[in-house]
Structure 1
Amino acid sequence: MRAKTFMIIGLILTIPALSGCVPVAIGAGGAIAADTLAEDRGRDLF
């Protein structure tokens, strides 16, 4: 029972971290895509 309680607490604590990482990952993917398109057109963003 005690191990299950710690597992539930751990999951509750990781949910905010995961929800914060998803927008960051999407933003980073968008930045990479924009840089790739700019380089294809002969410009350099980063």
Structure 2
Amino acid sequence: MPRIHMILALCALAALSGCGAVIVGAGGAVIADQVVEDQQGGDGLF
């Protein structure tokens, strides 16, 4: 039974680390959009 808990914990960790990359990427896109808006005016990328 403890082996199953270890496998589930590793799966959860992998899923959370994948989501973290998506969140960081989305944050970078928002910052890039703001920079483009500041430099060029208009509504930027989005």
- TM-score w.r.t. length of structure 2: 0.65
Kindly provide the CA deviation profile for residues 19-40 of structure 1, in whole angstroms up to 9, marking residues without a partner as x.
1111111100100000011111
Q: What is the CA distance between 1:45 and its match in structure 2? A: 1.0
Q: Which residue of 2 aligns with 1:29?
A: 27
User: Identity of aligned pairs, percent?
Assistant: 44
Q: What is the CA distance between 1:14 and its match in structure 2? A: 1.0
| In 2, Cα distance between equivalents of 1:8 and 1:24 | 25
Work out the number of aligned pairs and report it. Answer: 43
Q: Which runs of 5+ in 2 are unaligned?
A: none
- Higher normalized contact order (CA 8 Å, seq sep 6+, divided by chain length): 2
- TM-score w.r.t. length of structure 1: 0.65
Q: Which runs of 5+ in 1 are unaligned?
A: none
Q: Does 1:45 align with 2:45?
A: yes
Q: CA RMSD in A?
A: 1.9
